[in-house]
Structure 1
Amino acid sequence: MVNRIFFLITVIGIPLSVAGNLLHWPSVIMFGVFCLTIIALAGYMGRATESLAIVAGPRIGGLLNATFGNAVELIISIFALKEGLVEVVLASLTGSVLGNLLLVAGLSFFVGGLKFKRQEFNVFDARHNSGLLMFSIIVAFVIPEVFSQQMNDGEKLTLSIGISLILILLYLAALFFKLVTHRGVYQHKEESNDVHEEPEWSAKKALIILLLATAAVAYVSESLVHTFEAVGEQFGWSELFIGVIIVAIVGNAAEHASAIIMAYKNKMDIAVEIAVGSTLQIAMFVAPVLVLISLMFEVNMPLVFTLPELIAMVSAVLVTIAISNDGETNWFEGATLLAAYVIMGIGFYLL
């Protein structure tokens, strides 16, 4: 049923997006069309990566899902940087961290917990990810804010470039650690099950759909960025709220759905890898890459967040670590994460 709805939205949404651009339809209407179209396309990207991931195991499967899920947001952010909307991009990165750790993980734990009283996942991966979360958010994001108080714009950018390069190198090292040198060392029982699952699409079909959906998302995302200013004025939304809530939810729609479905199937290793792995990818790869890409545009983006953004991200990290470090979860822990997300969402709306 959901797949049929996504098909209809895609078939109608893409022609409407093209027509709206050519005929200059009202921005507020097109904003809704663009968002729904991107969410539907993200659904196809999620199904394609899930098909590719079935034979690859939960770690690589989660990584694939997070990577192509974040590709949507990366594309939106690049076009936003091109338009000089640095605050929207930084806010969307904040929103991705909050969305993945609190909304995606929270919904996954909650929905899975309604079906299963107690769900387990790899505790060694959870503890490994906790250390990386502490480093990438609390160290790499807070340090630039603290030091930038005594710096001019050029020095802020230089510091951000240095931190970005370190983050990218450490992220690649983390992948090498999990997928090569220590692959299978901390194996969880879910990963060792020999249950054979048939992919929805063949590898070739999944790759073709993935490439076409990504190209379509790139086109629609560029159009979406041009509606931000008009929509903000119409509804009284700040750039901060648009970035933290709207762009983050639209950009991460694919992994939101995939993580919840995996949790409902009791495949918690994949669900947690999507939620937490996607956060790490945003913090340690996407954000640094955007800093480097911004050097090609007129307005550069230092890795310096506002105080509310930093406090919200640090709080999300600490709550997630406290809940997930034991390697098991239930619906109430999911509800706790969701409550934290709603509280922060209200705060950003009122700012």
Structure 2
Amino acid sequence: MNKVFSVLVLVGVPLSIIGALMHWSSILMFIIYCLTIIALASFMGRATESLAIVAGPRIGGLLNATFGNAVELIISIFALREGLIGVVLASLTGSVLGNLLLVAGLSFFVGGLKYKRQKFNVYDARHNSGLLMFGVIVAFVIPEIFTKTMSKSDTLNFSVGISIILIVLYLAALLFKLVTHRGVYLTDNVAEDRHEEEEPEWGKWKALIILAIATVAVGYVSEKLVDTFHTVGEAFGWTELFIGVVIVAIVGNAAEHASAIIMAIKNKMDIAVEIAIGSTLQVAMFVAPVLVLISLMFPVSMPLIFSMPELIAMVTAALLMIILSNDGETNWFEGATLLAAYLIMGIGFYLL
């Protein structure tokens, strides 16, 4: 599989440049751009996996989520520049749903087929549950309720205030997990994992260089991908909402998809869960607020206001994940449940 992704990168990046310069068909270029981004994301996943072996599951999961979300952040910034506010909000919704239901669901399902029971740090799961309640349910639902009677300027000011609070709390959560309480809440299986020796595929510096190069390449391809949305949407009958919730989210989160599943197959569920839930928290508490602040520099600013279907879908996904993950164990049936929920929502957004 790594060879296939290597070939896709070697072929896809040049084709992306040539096709853009020669103005090839938007539909053809959309396919090339998506495949190229997914292939580049696999390199990002392999690099962060190498760093995770050196730095530990928490930092490794955080790195994977950060560089994985960098893809979506880059795509969203270019979409904001084009005034595609609906696509950006939909892609944020799709990222939350994709990470909680698709990424976690596939990880639990595939890992559960190989192992009857898979355990992960229950203390981290409970900590993340509280943050999910705040980041997804409180921070996204409250603005929808309070801004019903607000003017557009007050709505934007409220969104900016919420965004600053979210970013500060997210940074505080990182300080809590990685500094002040690092190693305080360890379970037996985590302690055992630390004694397992595994050689990273790439050294630290090589992995960092590959991450940097892949991120730059993704930035270029993502900019071109955004330019094809309108034409592709009209050709296939896809709405702006569906493109954001499903297409952009799946392409943008390809790195997390691949890495989390690989970790689950290796029974490294602490990293798999950290990627899925940690990435969701990063989107809700950092990426979304940052995009709100960045949008202030563009002609059309983006308030942190989602549509009712988006809100209900995200709240449902968060509550389902909290219920299934709070015991610190998982199996293939729980994965199937998450996947079923994702399919139901995907059909709904397609027909909406």
Same fold (TM over 0.5): yes
Name the structure 1 match of 2:118. 119
Deviation per residue, 1:104-144 (Å, 9 max, x gap): 00000000100000111111100100000001111100011
Name the structure 1 match of 2:186. 187
CA distance in 1, matches of 2:300, 2:20: 25
CA drift of 1:49 comes to 1.0
Gaps of 5+ in 1: none
CA distance in 2, matches of 1:107, 1:163: 32
Q: Is the 8 A contact 1:57 1:191 kept in 2?
A: no
Q: Is the 8 A contact 2:170 2:285 kept in 1?
A: yes
- TM-score, length basis structure 2: 0.99
Name the structure 2 match of 1:71. 70
Q: Is the 8 A contact 1:74 1:286 kept in 2?
A: yes
CA distance in 1, matches of 2:189, 2:216: 35
Matches within 5 A, 1:338-349: 338-349=339-350
Q: Is the 8 A contact 2:121 2:190 kept in 1?
A: no
Matches within 5 A, 1:204-223: 204-223=205-224
CA distance in 2, matches of 1:188, 1:258: 23
Name the structure 1 match of 2:161. 162
Name the structure 1 match of 2:21. 22
Deviation per residue, 1:2-29 (Å, 9 max, x gap): 1011011111111111111111111111
CA distance in 2, matches of 1:96, 1:190: 29
Q: Is the 8 A contact 2:120 2:190 kept in 1?
A: no
CA distance in 1, matches of 2:336, 2:111: 11
CA distance in 1, matches of 2:200, 2:232: 40
CA distance in 1, matches of 2:78, 2:8: 23
Name the structure 2 match of 1:234. 235
Task: Give SS of 1:187's match.
Answer: coil
Name the structure 2 match of 1:103. 102
Deviation per residue, 1:65-97 (Å, 9 max, x gap): 111000000000000001000000000000000
CA distance in 2, matches of 1:203, 1:129: 28
CA distance in 2, matches of 1:48, 1:299: 36
CA distance in 2, matches of 1:235, 1:152: 36
Name the structure 2 match of 1:6. 5
Q: Is the 8 A contact 1:112 1:264 kept in 2?
A: yes
Task: Give SS of 1:60's match.
Answer: helix
CA drift of 1:190 comes to 3.1
Gaps of 5+ in 2: none
Letter in 2 for 1:176: L
CA distance in 1, matches of 2:24, 2:43: 27
CA drift of 1:192 comes to 1.6
Q: Is the 8 A contact 1:190 1:267 kept in 2?
A: no
Deviation per residue, 1:241-264 (Å, 9 max, x gap): 000000000000011110011011
Structure 1 residue ranges (4+ consecutive) displaced by more than 6 angstroms after TM superposition: none
Name the structure 2 match of 1:134. 133
CA distance in 2, matches of 1:191, 1:34: 39
- TM-score, length basis structure 1: 0.99
Identity %: 76
Name the structure 1 match of 2:315. 314
CA distance in 2, matches of 1:320, 1:52: 27
Name the structure 2 match of 1:178. 177
Name the structure 2 match of 1:279. 280
CA drift of 1:191 comes to 2.6
Name the structure 1 match of 2:202. 201
CA drift of 1:163 comes to 0.2
Name the count of aligned residue pairs. 350
CA distance in 1, matches of 2:196, 2:346: 40
Q: Is the 8 A contact 1:190 1:269 kept in 2?
A: no
CA drift of 1:188 comes to 2.1
Task: Give SS of 1:140's match.
Answer: helix
CA distance in 1, matches of 2:73, 2:187: 32
Letter in 2 for 1:218: G
